[in-house]
Amino acid sequence: MHEAHEFLRSLTVVLAVAAITTVVFQRLRQPVVLGYIVAGLIVGPHVPLPLVADRATVQALSELGVILLMFSLGLEFSLGKLARVAPTAGFTAVLQAGLMAWLGFLVGRAFAWTVLESIFIGAAIAISSTTIVAKVFDERNIGGRQRELVVGILLIQDLIAIIFMAALTALATGAGLSAAALAATVGRLAAFLIVLLVVGMVTIPRFVLLVVGLERDETTLVASIGICFLTAWVAHACGYSVALGAFFAGTLVAESGHAEAIERLVRPVRDVFAAVFFVSVGILIDPALVIQNWGAVGVLAAVVIGGTITAVTVGAFLTGSGTRTAIQAGMSLAQIGEFSFIISGLGLTLGATREFVYPVTVAVSVITTLTTPWLVAAAEPVADWVDRKLPAPLQTFTTFYGTWVERMRDASTRRPTSQLRGLVRLIAIDATLLYGLIVAAALWVDDGAAFLARWLGLDAAPAILIETAIAIAAASPFVIGIGRLARRLAGSLAESALPRGASPVDLDAAPRRALIVTLQLGILLGIAVIVVAVTQPFLPSYPGPLLLLTLLAAFGLALWHSATNLQGHVRAGSQAIVEALTSYARRTGDGAGDGNGNAAAASFPLTDIHAMLTGLGEPIAVRLEAASPAVGLTLADLNLRGRTGASVLVILRSGQSVVPTATEHLVAGDVLAVAGTRAAIESAITMLRGDATPRNSP
């Protein structure tokens, strides 16, 4: 009976204080998430106030909030959507997690923490918070491709977190971590997900259809939440995250086709327990320990924000998400949360870290949680500013790069990819061997130097130099092999997007070269981040940063050179477009037409140009009617590329071509040749016609 009273008292304190703080923060026009965290600080044991909630009770209730939030996300994310964003989200998540784990390790070593403490803090700051992102996105009604990409990255991060926890447990318990053990961990996870999805697809959608057919909201709600908690419990019983199980429960329920109705029923229950989760975060804050380690907290918070934004933006752009969506995704994920607490708590439980690491992690989470709503709100203007400040060659490159990646995806669905899979497998083998060689050389450096010193009669310093030279010589074949394989893989991908025609003149040589260089350096950057992250604990601090800075410099120079060469290709293509539009105008007797005598067409594809210059994507000609909201605006005011991802190649006005400069005013009757991805062009047409203002466009 006493326990029941304590549970009721704790729940009353939490919800009553949260109710007050959320009202105050809403009146102040601040995110309610911040109010919940402040409520947790108030009812926590570290602030001298008479309102104290039982920490264990609140933590147990907060777990329900995580489960229901993940279930709601799963309802929005059918298996089809998940499969669509997996390639983009997977590369981005791996790049981001690898870079952040490495940066966190360097920060820990800089503050003289032990190697294990540095590894744990690196893993903790590598995983963004699904719960916080979901709450902020719901409050700001953010959807579209930005939400799809971010949720996909978060899901892959959750899988990475599970692998992290298995690896860290092996390290902390002294069992060591071998490639075989890591492969077994990944294999078990894959097997669990396959069984869960196969069994779930056979049973859950049919059961949900049966329940919904009863037409009772109460029955539908109870059955849906029952499925959610059952799947979460199964995941936990198999040694995995309840959040992972709840997410896949949502995706399986969504396959029934009634996701929207179920999400509407679940939302009130979810919001109550989500509030408890954020209160639990505030309860964990110990101001005294945070003050003692304020330097580490500040540096780690800055690393989380800056590193995550950079890594996610670069990864999302390289996988074809477009500059705008990539920046928005990066700024949305610049925080840590629930998995970070779990990883830090694991280190404390295993005795691998000292007590201060956990509150430092919580403090970093609180700071980045506070900044997340503002970063999400600022993402759109920041993306606009970046687009305006990019030099013209880079603006052109970013526009067409998305179309090339889109064509690569289309090609991969039409033809076998065994050659590509073979190249990826060879790269993985070489990278694994390189990793093993680096670790072996680092572990045996002292013994090897002593052996060489005795054998050659040298002092320690020359012996270490000789040993280093031998290690570099042994690693060189693998490094060269990875570079060559990356070039072949990039070339194969580029050929699938921009195949060579039968003509002796290769009209797409410039865009193909730009695509090959970008893909090759992107592949090498991803491999380098992973290798540096896993080998850094065995090496001095400087080789890793030096390697990555060198790669980034090479990437920047190659990108600039390719983008500059691409400008000539685009100018030639623009001239061809002008000639095509002029021909249309002569045939139709108007400013433009559809090529079939229909002068009134608002937009029409430039099929001949696409067939001749595939590097320009699938350009569309759009005629501005008098009612178009673009009429009278300059291109800078319209900001078509920044808002949709599509770019204006040329303007045809009264039979004359006009160079699309930022200060050029648009007039009724102008025909704009627009290029970009299919989604970008659709958004651009909608915007130019005035049907709606695109939001969260690629």
Decide: 124 and 344 in contact? Cβ < 8 Å: yes
Q: Quickly list DSSP for 503-535.
A: SSS-TTHHHHHHHHHHHHHHHHHHHHHHHHHHH
Query: Which residue has better confidence, 530 or 611?
Result: 530
> Rounded to 5 degrees, what are φ and ψ at 665?
-85, 135
Q: What is the pLDDT of residue 96?
A: 92
pLDDT tens column, 82-136: 677 777 788 899 889 989 999 999 999 889 898 889 999 999 999 998 878 887 8
Alpha-carbon torsion angle 608, 609, 610, 611, nearest 10: 50
**By three-state DSSP, how is residue 104 classified?**
helix
pLDDT tens column, 302-334: 999 999 999 999 999 888 888 888 999 999 999
pLDDT tens column, 268-308: 888 888 888 878 877 877 788 778 888 899 999 999 999 99
Decide: 288 and 46 in contact? Cβ < 8 Å: yes
**By three-state DSSP, how is residue 180 classified?**
helix
- Pairing state between β 656-658 and 671-675: unpaired
**By three-state DSSP, how is residue 202 classified?**
helix
Which pTM does this prediction carry? Answer: 0.78
Least confident of 66-70, 281-285, 500-504, 671-675: 500-504
Nearest residue to 60 via CA among 333, 242, 268, 299: 242
**By three-state DSSP, how is residue 653 classified?**
strand
What does the pLDDT average to over 53-74?
Answer: 79
| Rounded CA separation 651/664 (Å) | 10
pLDDT tens column, 484-525: 888 888 888 888 877 776 566 666 777 888 888 888 888 888
- Share of residues in the chain with pLDDT > 90 (%): 8
Q: For 441, how many CA atoms within 13 A lie in the half-sphere containing its CB?
A: 22
Question: How would residue 603 be classed by pLDDT, with cut points 50, 70 and 90?
Answer: low
| Rounded CA separation 693/611 (Å) | 31
| Look-up of token digits 């147990």 | 60
Q: What is the pLDDT of residue 288?
A: 80
Average pLDDT, the chain: 79
Domains of the chain with bracketed CATH: 2-389 (1.20.1530.20), 402-568 (no CATH), 576-689 (3.30.70.1450)
Decide: 250 and 73 in contact? Cβ < 8 Å: yes
Q: What is the pLDDT of residue 503?
A: 60
Question: How would residue 595 be classed by pLDDT, with cut points 50, 70 and 90?
Answer: very low
Q: What is the pLDDT of residue 300?
A: 94
Cα–Cα separations (whole angstroms), residue 437 to 7, 471, 524: 55, 8, 18
**By three-state DSSP, how is residue 651 classified?**
strand
| Rounded CA separation 424/431 (Å) | 10
Q: What is the pLDDT of residue 610?
A: 62
Decide: 642 and 652 in contact? Cβ < 8 Å: no
